[in-house]
A = this chain, B = another copy of it.
């Protein structure tokens, strides 16, 4: 006997393929195989010591109760201070909401901004969660096919073509997943102007900010007070398992954001918030910068090694810890290719099909979230497998 009627919206979403890769890799490891993990979008580093110490102190102080829905005032102030220090932009702390990971923030924005049948313009490929959240709200993910020609970011001309009468928002990501490309300052200004012309809201996923290897990476808030920024302590700050991120919303949305936060999650984890306060100390920042340098070294190595093997990488990684590589020389089926690399050669990578439809079978994503020794081993295995 089972008569549960499942909501239609769930048909529109899909599990992350990377999780299946991860699970299968775990099974192979349990059977004694050595697997090189280049599938996971999570820094390999343990959370930095100053943050761990702050968590220990918060435990000692018994900080185990709920915080405000918007987050600890001290943390909201610290984030505002970070915007001033790093971007030279003044953001009132009242516009900042601490969320349970960027996931909590994105879910909140989807609830806040998307009516059924609203169209949201976004790149294909992109982080799969975003289009899933849009579809959960009954909205339409209006996917812009992007490739190396535009650095895997949507160009205004493409948006102009893709826009329909029901388009309501433009969701951007910089640095982007899976390509690791960024939106330059002039391009961002152009996109914002275009979005404003059609009265669309703009959401920008900045969760990889800090982990970038170009000089200038503009934050949306430098150019506009009307957009929505999603950020996270997971990536640059290395706090994935703590489930803590933040939103910046326009002043007009503060009250509704607070109401949604109460209803959707009550508050972000209190201990994580106290710990995150230490992320803005000079000692922690020094560790983050050392790690950024390590990611950059990995990127440089991997870009060259993969190119030599015969992968084609149309846009070099400018941020985040991903390389998006075409496999035309080896296969026409990225899922089958990834399966073979894992099963036969012990290298775990993610098929492009996790990130969208456009040319998804031509591409795979490499995450350089493992150390240089492992990357070298992975590259050796790929070179042997692919015969160069």
Chain A residues packing against B (C-beta within 8 Å): 1-10, 13-16, 19, 42, 46-47, 52, 55-56, 59, 62-67, 69, 100-101, 103-104, 107, 111-116, 118, 129, 132-133, 136-138, 168, 196, 199, 201, 226, 238-243, 250, 252-253, 255-256, 258-260, 262-272
- Per a CB cutoff under 8 Å, which of B5, B101, B116 touches A168? B5
Q: Which residues of B contact A259 (CB under 8 A)?
A: 10, 13-15
Nearest CB on B from A374, distance (A): 16
Does B5 contact A201, Cβ atoms closer than 8 Å? yes
Does B10 contact A64, Cβ atoms closer than 8 Å? no
Q: Which residues of B contact A63 (CB under 8 A)?
A: 241
Q: Which residues of B contact A136 (CB under 8 A)?
A: 111, 263
Bound complex: CA A56 to CA B266 (Å) = 25
Bound complex: CA A55 to CA B15 (Å) = 30
Bound complex: CA A82 to CA B243 (Å) = 26
Q: Which residues of B contact A252 (CB under 8 A)?
A: 2, 4
Nearest CB on B from A254, distance (A): 12
Q: A240-B65, A241-B64, A242-B271 are in contact. Are A6 and B256 (CB under 8 A)?
A: yes
Q: Which residues of B contact A262 (CB under 8 A)?
A: 15-16, 19, 129
Q: A65-B42, A265-B101 are in contact. Are A3 and B226 (CB under 8 A)?
A: yes
Q: A42-B65, A111-B136 are in contact. Are A265 and B243 (CB under 8 A)?
A: yes
This protein's copies in its complex: 2
Nearest CB on B from A97, distance (A): 14
Nearest CB on B from A129, distance (A): 5
- Per a CB cutoff under 8 Å, which of B5, B7, B114, B240 touches A111? B7
Bound complex: CA A258 to CA B211 (Å) = 29
Bound complex: CA A113 to CA B3 (Å) = 12
9 residue pairs from A and B, CB less than 8 Å apart = A3-B199, A5-B201, A7-B113, A19-B262, A47-B64, A103-B266, A107-B265, A132-B263, A242-B270
- Per a CB cutoff under 8 Å, which of B7, B243, B256 touches A268? B243
Bound complex: CA A116 to CA B129 (Å) = 21
Does A115 contact B4, Cβ atoms closer than 8 Å? no
Most buried by B among A64, A116, A258: A64
Nearest CB on B from A378, distance (A): 20
Q: Which residues of B contact A8 (CB under 8 A)?
A: 115
Q: Which residues of B contact A260 (CB under 8 A)?
A: 10, 13
Q: Which residues of B contact A104 (CB under 8 A)?
A: 100, 265
